[in-house]
A and B are shown apart, each in its own frame.
Chain A
């Protein structure tokens, strides 16, 4: 359940950002990009986020929106770009060679926080 550690990291980052604003504010939404090759279960992350946010007064009403990014790789031998998955045993469907470089799938980033200023 490292999703709990990730949920806490998201809430800590939001809190830091809000603390740097001039006006007292609450977060109403946060967008997080999660790569498929990142060992993160979206459902578990959402569950952990909703459980933990109760402990963060400025994030109680914050919705977590996840953008899932598929795993894409350049193959080792042919440098073909392909979607790497268990279905093709992570090998290139064009030439059968192994993963050379991951192009996407390792993302784990906050991309947007929606903030509502208090009265």
Chain B
């Protein structure tokens, strides 16, 4: 019997995901589209935001959606009701999309011509932050009903994103939610972040968000979000 041997190494875990994410981004770049990872807790209104945004899109800026859910196709069906091209990824036991799931879909599905591809992640403020998909932009939604303390409780996802969209702003008068407090907490983690305050019920804030994302798509200002 030989004695134990110590292998001193330095291997980054999840590196495989990061390499696949780079591969996906090359794919998105070849297709000439802006890939946007939409992340939030369950029920913050990601699908509603996409549906409302689609209605305001200029004709020369079509969108498509890759929809990540653990089970079922309910959100894809909601999007297709509005004739939005949408493709389901069922993640099964996984609580997030990963780059492999997106790569598999990209290699088996011909996406329609579009300028913006929304990657609607599984509703979760923790795990999606750790798995880049190859996106150019990372957007986090925080609904008014969730509470203004969430940025401090879930700092990683708010640290590593390009914009935060406060949704369900029509409920502000009925909730103890301080926009100022939430923005201050997010700014302490991520001073360069953009903010939008929207309601898909009243339509407030949607044109500003639409203008920003269309401008990003047109300029295709991309930031590689592989690791930090």
Contacts and interface: CB of A to CB of B under 8 A. Distances in A.
A39 B156 CA distance: 7
Query: What secondary structure prevails in chain A residues at the interface with B?
Result: mixed
Contacts of A40: 130
Interface residues of B, number: 38
Given A37-B155, A98-B188, A9 B13 contact: yes
A30 B2 CA distance: 18
B13 A109 contact: yes
Given A5-B94, A114-B4, A108 B188 contact: no
A69 interface: no
Contacts of A116: 2-5
Contacts, number: 104
A119 B2 CA distance: 7
Given A9-B13, A37-B159, A112 B127 contact: no
Contacts of B190: 98-99
Contacts of B9: 17, 110-113
B159 to A, nearest CB: 7
Interface residues of A, number: 38
B11 interface: yes
Interface in B64-95: 93-95
B187 A98 contact: yes
Contact of A5 (B98, B187, B189): B98
Contacts of A108: 12-14
A49 B10 CA distance: 19
Given A1-B127, A37-B156, A112-B8, A13 B13 contact: yes
A64 interface: no
B13 A114 contact: no
Contacts of B2: 23, 116-117
A19 B96 CA distance: 30
Given A108-B12, A111-B10, A112-B6, 18 more contacts: A1-B127, A6-B13, A9-B14, A13-B11, A17-B7, A37-B156, A38-B130, A39-B156, A90-B185, A98-B191, A109-B11, A109-B13, A110-B13, A111-B9, A113-B6, A113-B9, A117-B1, A117-B2
5 nearest CB pairs, A to B? A2-B127, A117-B2, A98-B191, A113-B7, A110-B11
28 contacts: A1-B93, A1-B95, A1-B127, A2-B94, A2-B130, A4-B93, A6-B13, A10-B13, A13-B13, A25-B5, A37-B159, A39-B130, A86-B152, A90-B155, A90-B185, A98-B190, A99-B159, A106-B228, A108-B13, A108-B14, A109-B12, A109-B13, A110-B11, A112-B8, A115-B4, A116-B3, A117-B2, A119-B1
Interface of A: 1-2, 4-6, 9-10, 13, 17, 23, 25, 28, 32, 37-40, 76, 86, 89-91, 98-100, 102, 106, 108-117, 119
